[in-house]
Amino acid sequence: MTVDAILSADAAATHRAGVLLGRLARAGDVIALAGGLGAGKTALVQGLAAGLEVTGHVPSPTFNILLVHPGTLPLNHFDLYRLEHPEQLVDIDFWETLESGGVSAIEWADRFPGELPADRLDVVIDIVDETTRALRPIGTGARSRVLASRWLEAWDADLRGVRR
């Protein structure tokens, strides 16, 4: 059976999905997150950080716009919610940071779709009910399609108790 989404029962499962993604991430990967307020974008990124072995608290960078966390690879955590114009991306060294050799997670990436790199993993988070989320990974290029596929496989294996 082919699965095209991760069904997360609660915030802990969303975090777990992020851990699995973090273990698969490589330098230069860009993960573009979309979903409404409270969808679980930050919970997913906190799991991603754990998968990258980031230590310490990983808050939403809503007021900072960008927080960089050291780990096995640096995690560049963007939150574009407060930006209003694409020109503001220059002020935060957006494109330079994406190319800096870390893994970039971008909350509210859908605010500036034309400014995102061609090869990225879009993760659309749909609110199913009060606690359940559907995480839909969409690879937009060669590397991100592989990442999406491997993430879905890792989730399926994790659910079945198979360790990789």
- Domain containing 95 — which CATH number? 3.40.50.300
**Between residues 142 and 162, the one the model is more confident about:** 142
Residue 149 lies in a domain: yes
Predicted pLDDT of residue 157: 92
Range list of H helices, the chain: 11-24, 41-51, 88-91, 94-98, 142-159
Q: Write the DSSP symbol of residue 162.
A: -
Give the domain range for residue 48. 6-159
Give the pLDDT band of residue 2 (cuts 50, 70, 90).
low
Residue 89 lies in a domain: yes
Residue type, 112: F
Tell me the pTM.
0.94
Residue 164 lies in a domain: no
Residue 1 lies in a domain: no
Please give the Cα distance from 94 to 54 (Å, whole number): 21
Could you tell me how many residues make up the chain? 164
Mean pLDDT, the chain, whole residue set: 94
Domain count of the chain? 1
Residue 129 lies in a domain: yes
CA 112, 118, 120, 125 dihedral sign is positive
Residue 106 lies in a domain: yes
Residue 103 lies in a domain: yes
**Segment 122-136 mean pLDDT:** 96
Q: How far is CA 138 from CA 60, 71, 95, 134, 141, in A?
A: 23, 25, 21, 13, 9
